[in-house]
Amino acid sequence: MSTQIPNQTDESSETEPDAEAGSKGDERRAEKRRRAAEERERRQAEEAERAAADEETVELKVFRYDPEVEGKQDPRFDTFHVPFTKGMTVLDALMYSRDNYDSSLTFRHSCRQAVCGSDAMFVNGGQKLACKTQIVDLDQPIRVEPLPHAEVTKDLVVDMEHFYEQMEAVEPYFQTTEYPEGELEEQRQTRENREKVKMSTRCIWCAACMSSCNIAAGDNEYLGPAAINKAYRFAMDEREGEDIKQKRLEIIEQEHGVWRCQTQFSCTEVCPKDIPLTEHIQELKREAVKNNLKFW
pLDDT tens readout for residues 181-238:
877 888 889 999 999 999 999 999 999 999 999 999 999 999 999 999 999 999 999 9
At residue 74 the predicted structure's pLDDT band, cuts being 50, 70 and 90, is very high
* 65 & 138 share domain: yes
For 244-265, give one letter per residue: b (16+ CB within 10 A) or e. Answer: bbeebbebbbeebbbebbeeee
**What is the reported pLDDT for 11?**
45
Which residue among 135, 153, 171 closes a domain?
A: 153
Q: Are residues 122 and 208 in the same domain?
A: no
* 14: in domain: no
Q: Average pLDDT over the chain, rounded to whole? A: 88
**C-alpha to C-alpha distance for 240 and 246, rounded to whole angstroms:** 10
How many structural domains comprise the chain?
2
**Residue 217 sits in the same domain as residue 283:** yes
Tell me the residue range of the domain where 174 lies: 160-180+188-292
Q: Is residue 195 part of a domain?
A: yes
pLDDT at 9: 45
User: Is the whole model's pTM more than 0.85, yes or no?
Assistant: no
Residue 96 domain flag: yes
Residue 248 sits in a domain whose CATH number is: 1.10.1060.10
Q: Which residues pair with 158 in a beta bridge?
A: 152
The length of the chain, given as a count of residues: 296
Q: Does residue 264 share a domain with residue 174?
A: yes
Rounded Cα distance, 231 and 90, in Å: 32
Chain centroid to Cα 248, Å, comes to: 33
Question: Measured in whole angstroms, how far is the alpha carbon of residue 31 from the centre of its chain?
Answer: 56
| pLDDT tens-digit series, residues 33-54 | 888 888 878 877 766 565 555 5
Q: How many CA atoms lie within 13 A of 235 on its CB side?
A: 26
Q: What is the mean pLDDT of residues 77-104?
A: 96
Pick from 60-64, 181-185, 229-233, 248-252: least confident? 181-185
Residues 93 and 209 in one domain: no
pLDDT digits (tens, 9 = 90+) for 141-180: 999 999 999 999 999 999 999 999 999 999 999 998 878 8
Considering the domain architecture, whether residues 117 and 226 belong to the same structural domain is answered as no
Instruction: Tell whether 288 and 165 lie within a shared domain.
Output: yes
Do 106 and 212 fall within a single domain? no
One DSSP character per residue, 184-220 reads T------HHHHHHHHGGGG-----HHHHH-HHHHH-T
Task: Tell whether 168 and 279 lie within a shared domain.
Answer: yes
Do 279 and 193 share a domain, yes or no?
Answer: yes
Q: Is residue 131 domain-resident?
A: yes
Q: Are 62 and 94 in contact (CB under 8 A)?
A: yes
The verdict on residue 13 lying in a domain is: no
Given this model, what pLDDT does residue 3 score? 38
